[in-house]
Amino acid sequence: MKNFNVYPLFDVAPVKAKGSYVYDEAGQEYLDFYGGHAVISIGHSHPHHVSAITQQMEQMAFYSNSIVNPLQKQYAEKLGQMSGYEDYQLFLVNSGAEAIENAIKLAAFQNGRKKVLVFDKAFHGRTSLAVQATDNARVRSSLDDNDRMIRVPLNDEVALQQHLTEEVACVIVEGIQGVGGINLPDDQFLQKVSKLCEQKGALLILDEIQSGFGRTGKFFAHQYAGVKPHLITVAKGMGNGFPIGGVLIHPDIEPSFGLLGTTFGGNHLACAAGLAVLEVMEQENLMDNALKQGEVLKAALKDIEGVVSVRGRGLMLAAEFDAPIKVMRKNLVTAHHLFTGASSHPNVLRLLPPLGIGEKEITQFMTKVKSVTAHIHG
């Protein structure tokens, strides 16, 4: 049997990783400024994370959600305390797409409506409802084509006002658009969305799958705008590589037996991994570091030849160049041993490093990128 060939691959096969670095079989070190799509939050192979998973594996790896799992309660309490959402409820799943699916269903269960308002350049996942909300026709099949989704430009208050009607069950917006190119919803725009949702009886879903868990310097990116969504979807940096996702649910939304369900979501190993991530974030002040080092990196990016704009918050940043970056990214990996990310915008270099990076890693990053851009523009 062969693997189903759907991923364009760099010819690199890491076999171990530590902190902000990964290593191939020959021992070559690569600086990781992408974290596997923002998944690596507290750093590769963090000893506390490894220890927590190992200990839990030795005790009990899994049982279904038909029994009491004290780790779920511990995790929910810790997440509520650190995020500022102590009064919310938590439904645990395995991935970001699952979180989106369940959030949309919960919204529709509340008001019985059939329309969803989404935004241009959004990415919410590849499963049924999630892929319909995603702004990429290439990843949608014929079964995903319908008139359920209403798509409007991000930060366009006129279009928002026009299309957010009493037919809309929910509005889904990313705290910061990741795949779309690190596009920020204006704070006042998010406030407008929140206000209109209340007026029209729609639920506000904040997709914090990529922008959450301290990446922007606050626990969630939407907290810069001071809004409180009805539902918040999370995943990626939540488990530092262990598959885990979830939905934070407003206290006014009442659960009932059988309303939602999952086999693997919230399993013992996932909760142990998630708790370890939160503990490291707290102990090592990683949100503060993300904010501080993000400002250092943002300022440095503006000095790179060919960069026309820099945007983002904390350690969720984009450098937009005056030309496509595909060849540059390949050179960065093969010749300079640096991992970076792309987006749906061909000129945007996307940066999502572990939250514990310091000036040493930023200096290394800048040296590598400048050597490539100097060659291109020289």
Render pLDDT for 90-131 as a digit per residue (tens, 0 to 9): 999 999 999 999 999 999 999 999 999 999 999 999 999 999
In a domain, 262, yes or no: yes
In a domain, 167, yes or no: yes
pLDDT at 151: 98
Contacts 24+ apart (CB under 8 A), 64-69: 64/263, 65/261, 65/262, 65/263, 65/265, 65/266, 69/266, 69/267, 69/268, 69/271
Mean residue pLDDT across the chain: 96
pLDDT at 41: 98
pLDDT at 145: 82
pLDDT at 307: 96
What is the domain extent for residue 238? Answer: 47-283
Provide the number of structural domains found in the chain: 1
In a domain, 328, yes or no: no
Pairing of strands 115-119, 149-152: parallel
Instruction: Report the side by side order of strands in the sheet with 348-351.
Output: 307-313, 316-321, 348-351
Q: Which amino acid is at 35?
A: G
pLDDT at 154: 98
Tell me if 238 sits within 8 A of 96, measured CB to CB.
no
For residue 318, the surrounding DSSP H or E stretch is: strand 316-321
Tell me if 351 sits within 8 A of 341, measured CB to CB.
yes
Neighbours of 130 (CB within 10 A): 25
Over residues 184-240, the pLDDT tens digits come to 999 999 999 999 999 999 999 999 999 999 999 999 999 999 999 999 999 999 999
In a domain, 110, yes or no: yes
In a domain, 77, yes or no: yes
CATH of the domain at 222: 3.40.640.10
pLDDT at 37: 96
- Rounded to the nearest 5 degrees, what angle is found at the Cα of 31, between the Cα atoms of 14 and 45? 60
In a domain, 312, yes or no: no
Q: Give every residue of the chain whose pLDDT is below 70, as ranges.
A: 375-378
- In terms of DSSP H, where are the helices of 44-186? 47-59, 70-83, 96-111, 128-133, 157-163
DSSP secondary-structure letter at 44?
Answer: B
In a domain, 195, yes or no: yes
In a domain, 95, yes or no: yes
